[in-house]
Chain A
């Protein structure tokens, strides 16, 4: 039985890779015949491996052959190169992972080059999602760098004939006693290659002693970003490049009935590909590609006719799917009957779009039956497998490289653009770049799942919650369990047939589940006549959650009887957050006056990067909380443009006070997602506090407050 937290959260149940890339990898390893190489021999039980991660995915571990991967190399010139399959998408892990290596290896940040997300060079990785990079990859690279440090120190000590403990490692050099005993890493490995492996005995620096990790190291390629020099996938222009364009169906579910491409085919340099339902062109310029696509006459069958009007009833129809195991404790039905306070409500969340500012893009090139694709994806090895499946090529014939990408937020798990570009490139015999238009990105990517959440709760008159009967339809099971101490629980995830393509999203179901749970806790608090903060503290036993709740409310200046304020708290993926919001309501409009958010995720690896992530999560979260919702009618989107789909802008942002709790005594956890989860319920609770109206749908106020609201 797979653990539901990863598989269901992703909503896309890809299998792990069935093959490895022996030919490529051996060639690659040969290039490291000098210097120091840190290898990781993956044992069958996967204890030391990053593939532990994929082991969570239900049996992947069994399919993985024991293999050798190169994780770190130190050249005879002292240059340090590390390899990770993780992807940089703006979450700043290129910097935080480099810090981890620099810390353990005792080299300056600038000495480290981190090669990321290249299936031909980096070790296998399941993907960059689920806030897993910091708890797993950061630890992995620390171990790898520490192993390298130890063999270097030992070799120097042996050369000087002194004890290992008598040498220190600093600034890329090993020092013995006196000025004569000092040698650079490069010199140490000159003409005598070394191989290190990570073992159980590899000792890491304690976070309490961190000197480079734990500090605000500036973003590593920041200068390339501010000068426009960084090349995203969509900026690449290899020699002989053609530009691709796909002809899309007019509505979801429509299939190609008839195609007349003769006019397009007559255009100079244009290649038309019609293969099943795939219809696209490649042309010498982007303009010509657009003209050729327009010149194709395509007839399509009628589509699905999906409509948002019936969405929330549709989602409650029983459907097959992986429900995971319900959480059951005590006897919820009895406790609900006992009461005496009983509160029932239903909450809904809309589909929303990731809208990464860089749309999906890919550059594909075939050479001698091998395809290389540069593309912005969170799952390079997953996309490699998609290429293998789509083109029936051997695994060593497909390589995926991910340039640092213009964000994803969970929206780039799939390889759609990669497959499309590769199909066009194969037909054209030249490299093809495909950059999805904004309209394509809205319509043909996938959405954060919509959902319905039904809650029945009971409490004693003193505010102790006694029953929690919780049903989530389609949103997903991430953070579905309650962190409150409730004796009788029944918590169930009900999969549904989603009318729209749906998938992962930053925080995913944790946003929906926290919205429902924390709104409902507020409802129960009011039913019991208890201040929402005191009510939560009464029902909480989790010290870390209590700590962030107290930190946020203290800084915010929470007052039991004030109006227009709301709070929420939660825990997910090892991160603890509490959020307080003050709103002003006037003439049907809700204005956020201020937001205070406290966050704790163990030891902080980069405080400025973390602050940026927390602030960004709150600001992105404003959209889904207040106004973002995908509209659809008759199988088509009704607002799939930036002109119609409202995104948070400068003027939407209130003053945000971020409090970070640094727990150097705890291992670091991820932070890209969880800071978002308290915002929507805190806003909803503040609106209730201001108006007495309980809003139970996300987004809360897409068209302002309902007319009946007391303002």
Chain B
């Protein structure tokens, strides 16, 4: 079936199967490989994107059901060579090792920063707890999100 997807501000007509995931369309059909496959069951958050500003597991979202919604991926954050404050904060705190979870972490963090005014450590941990970093950089990720929250304030 044909669906029309709005991704990072551009509209794409794509041919999908009824059960095909948004993750699969992003990676295999639109070439947006910054969004990662980690588990395919919504448990690790490597595939996190924003749909209408809210963090969503793209491996659990059917592409056919996100028509007319606005999808943002990690590729949308940098504009004119300028990084998003959270990307800058990830670099500053070196909140990564292998980096495979990083795009999902950043998208979940961007969604969190947009939705919550007062970000305590506890609030960050609670919101981010479904995103896995197997390398164990969690404390640095918390520090990076806090830093970006302060930069925003």
Which of chain B's residues have a CB closer than 8 A to the CB of A234?
Answer: 33, 36-37
Residues 27-45 of chain B: 1 if any A CB is under 8 Å from the residue's CB, otherwise 0?
1100111111111110110
Scan residues 90-121 of chain B and give those whose CB is less than 8 A from a CB of chain A: 90-91, 94, 96-103, 106
Which of chain A's residues have a CB closer than 8 A to the CB of B91?
Answer: 218-219, 222-223, 226
The stretch that binds B, out of A248-256, A473-481, A567-575, A641-649, is A641-649
* B33 in complex: contacting residue of A90, A228, A404, A651, CB < 8 Å: A228
Check if B78 is an interface residue, CB within 8 A of chain A. yes
Q: Is the CB of B100 within 8 A of A407?
A: yes
- In the complex, what distance in Å separates the CA atom of A222 from the CA atom of B93? 11
Q: Is the CB of B135 within 8 A of A90?
A: yes
- In the complex, what distance in Å separates the CA atom of A605 from the CA atom of B22? 42
Which of chain B's residues have a CB closer than 8 A to the CB of A39?
Answer: none
* A228 in complex: contacting residue of B103, B124, B136, B141, CB < 8 Å: B103
- In the complex, what distance in Å separates the CA atom of A90 from the CA atom of B98? 3
The stretch that binds B, out of A70-78, A267-275, A352-360, A486-494, is A352-360
Give the interface SS of chain B, mostly helix, strand, loop or mixed: loop
Which of chain B's residues have a CB closer than 8 A to the CB of A616?
Answer: 97, 135-137
- In the complex, what distance in Å separates the CA atom of A438 from the CA atom of B97? 20
Q: Is the CB of B134 within 8 A of A230?
A: no
- Interface residues in A, total, Cβ within 8 A: 56
**Which residue of chain B has its CB nearest to the CB of A241?**
B28
Q: Min CB distance, B119 to chain A, in Å? A: 13
Residues 118-144 of chain B: 1 if any A CB is under 8 Å from the residue's CB, otherwise 0?
000000111011111111111111100
Residues 1-40 of chain B: 1 if any A CB is under 8 Å from the residue's CB, otherwise 0?
0000000000000000100100010011001111111111
Check if A232 is an interface residue, CB within 8 A of chain B. yes
Check if B51 is an interface residue, CB within 8 A of chain A. no
Check if A653 is an interface residue, CB within 8 A of chain B. yes
Check if B65 is an interface residue, CB within 8 A of chain A. no
The stretch that binds B, out of A104-112, A140-148, A617-625, is A617-625
Q: Is the CB of B134 within 8 A of A407?
A: yes
Q: Is the CB of A650 within 8 A of B136?
A: no
* B134 in complex: contacting residue of A91, A237, A356, A405, CB < 8 Å: A356
Q: Min CB distance, A355 to chain B, in Å? A: 6
Q: Is the CB of A615 within 8 A of B134?
A: no
Residues 614-641 of chain A: 1 if any B CB is under 8 Å from the residue's CB, otherwise 0?
0111111000000000000000000001
Chain A CB within 10 A, most for which of B46, B73, B97, B102: B97
* B94 in complex: contacting residue of A235, A612, A617, A641, CB < 8 Å: A612
- In the complex, what distance in Å separates the CA atom of A237 from the CA atom of B44? 24
**Which residue of chain B has its CB nearest to the CB of A441?**
B39
* A651 in complex: contacting residue of B28, B100, B126, CB < 8 Å: B126
Scan residues 391-422 of chain A and give those whose CB is less than 8 A from a CB of chain B: 404-407, 409
Ranked nearest first, the 3 interchain pairs of A and B with the lowest CB-CB distance are: A228-B34, A90-B98, A619-B136
6 pairs across A/B with beta carbons < 8 Å? Answer: A227-B75, A287-B17, A407-B97, A407-B100, A438-B38, A649-B132
Q: Give me the interface of B with A, judged by CB distance under 8 Å.
A: 17, 20, 24, 27-28, 31-41, 43-44, 46, 73-75, 77-78, 83, 87, 90-91, 94, 96-103, 106, 124-126, 128-142
